[in-house]
């Protein structure tokens, strides 16, 4: 399985256009040892010829036009992107679907609740139905393994088995109360366990950290790309003087009691990589104590263009 990290930052990217925090300011000034980052986006492929996007980031157009692996093949309209799998209805996970509106037939996998949020209340996404055939929605059921076959798969070894793991998060604030009441809470935010040819990828760019299922998936995976949004729970408040706590936004912080570092001391065999890094996170500064602390505890820090072969 080929895995590409096309984008690695949380919503807003790094630097964020309207943010004057120490990280963003120092990056703009060229005095921070670290890289700029687009918003979190991962793509996977069994062979490198057809691709599955894990979510669709607000930076998707830039991310796929800069990488020749996603270029059309031939003179007409075509794409090696065949499938998109969504982990939530958060703007950061779905806005990029609108970049894919150019009359391209695609398949989108999501929980039924996420699909209802996008199709019943957000008429803008109807632009995806103009393709012929229209976008095809497929339902991801919690803890059920679903085979995903790409158009040019040659053998069963190239089929992805995809399971959605409920991570206990919430639906986005923009969902209306009447719709929210008719949705299933466990379908709001999922992690993806993807198996191909006995190799396992665990993808959880938003990890509230409730329950234990995510730990089982992380420790049994070969590669885990996991929520590294915030270093502390009160990070936004500390940096900006206001802002929700990390946990209140569905992101378990990296440090402190009950933080990701403490909860993943069991490790397992997985190569563990932090993704979805918020611009305020000190981990982005490669000379910071926080950066060294996450590296010392066995985590890598994702950057745009990071690639893996499983």
User: Which residues here bind Zn ion, judged by CB under 5 A?
Assistant: 16, 19, 21, 24, 279
Least CB distance to Zn ion at residue 292 (A): 21
| Token pair listed for 272 | 């563990």
User: Which residues have C-beta within 8 Å of that of residue 62, sequence separation ≥ 6?
Assistant: 38
Report the residue number, 7 or 168, with the smaller CB distance to Zn ion: 7
Which C-beta is closer to Zn ion: that of 27 or that of 95? 27
Comparing CB distances to Zn ion, the nearer of 5 and 15 is: 15
Sheet holding 199-204, edge to edge: 146-148, 160-166, 190-196, 199-204, 223-227, 271-275, 299-301
Instruction: Report in angstroms how near the CB of residue 238 gets to Zn ion at its nearest.
Output: 12
Q: Which two tokens stand for residue 160?
A: 């992805």
- Minimum distance between the CB of residue 150 and Zn ion, rounded to whole angstroms? 38
Cβ-based nearer residue to Zn ion, 24 or 301? 24
| Helix ranges restricted to H, 157-288 | 177-181, 213-219, 235-240, 260-263
Rounded distance, CA 107 to CA 101, Å? 13
Sign of the alpha-carbon torsion through 232, 252, 309, 220? positive
What is the maximal distance between C-alpha atoms in the chain? Answer: 56
16/196 with CB nearer Zn ion: 16
Q: How far is the CB of 18 from Zn ion (least distance, A)?
A: 9
CB of residue 54 vs Zn ion: minimum separation in angstroms?
25
Tokens at 73, concatenated: 């093949």
Which residue's CB is nearer to Zn ion, number 32 or number 217?
32
Whole-number minimum distance, CB 27 to Zn ion, in Å? 8
Phi, psi of 73 (to 5 degrees): -105, 110
Please identify, using beta-carbon distances, which residue of 20 and 48 lies nearer to Zn ion.
20
Alpha helices in the chain (DSSP H): 22-29, 60-65, 91-94, 112-120, 177-181, 213-219, 235-240, 260-263, 289-296
CB of 28 to Zn ion, least distance (A): 10
């Amino acid at each position: 399985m080929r895995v590409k990290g096309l984008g690695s930052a949380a919503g807003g990217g790094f630097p964020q256009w309207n943010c004057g925090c120490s990280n963003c300011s120092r990056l703009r000034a060229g005095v921070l040892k670290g890289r700029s980052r687009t918003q979190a986006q991962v793509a996977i492929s069994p062979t490198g010829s057809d691709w599955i996007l894990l979510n669709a980031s607000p930076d998707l157009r830039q991310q796929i036009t800069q990488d020749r692996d996603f270029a059309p093949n031939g003179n007409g309209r075509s794409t090696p992107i065949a499938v998109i799998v969504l982990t939530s209805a958060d703007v950061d996970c779905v806005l990029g679907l609108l970049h894919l509106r150019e009359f391209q037939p695609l398949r989108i996998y999501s929980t039924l609740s996420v699909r209802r949020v996008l199709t019943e209340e957000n008429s803008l996404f109807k632009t995806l139905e103009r393709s012929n055939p229209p976008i095809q929605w497929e339902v991801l059921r919690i803890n059920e393994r679903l085979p995903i076959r790409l158009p040019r798969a040659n053998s069963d070894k190239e089929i992805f088995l995809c399971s959605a793991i409920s991570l206990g998060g919430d639906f986005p604030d923009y969902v209306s109360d009447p719709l929210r009441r008719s949705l299933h809470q466990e379908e709001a935010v999922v992690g993806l366990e993807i198996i191909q040819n006995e190799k396992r990828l665990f993808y959880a760019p938003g990890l509230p950290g409730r329950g234990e299922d995510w730990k089982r998936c992380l420790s049994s995976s070969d590669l885990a790309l996991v929520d590294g949004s915030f270093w502390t729970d009160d990070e936004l408040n500390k940096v900006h003087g206001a802002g929700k706590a990390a946990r209140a936004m569905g992101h378990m912080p990296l440090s402190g009691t009950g933080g990701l570092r403490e909860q993943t001391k069991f490790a397992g065999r997985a190569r563990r990589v932090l993704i979805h890094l918020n611009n305020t996170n000190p981990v982005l500064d490669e000379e910071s104590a926080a950066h060294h602390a996450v590296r010392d505890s066995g985590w890598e820090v994702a950057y745009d263009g990071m690639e893996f072969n499983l």
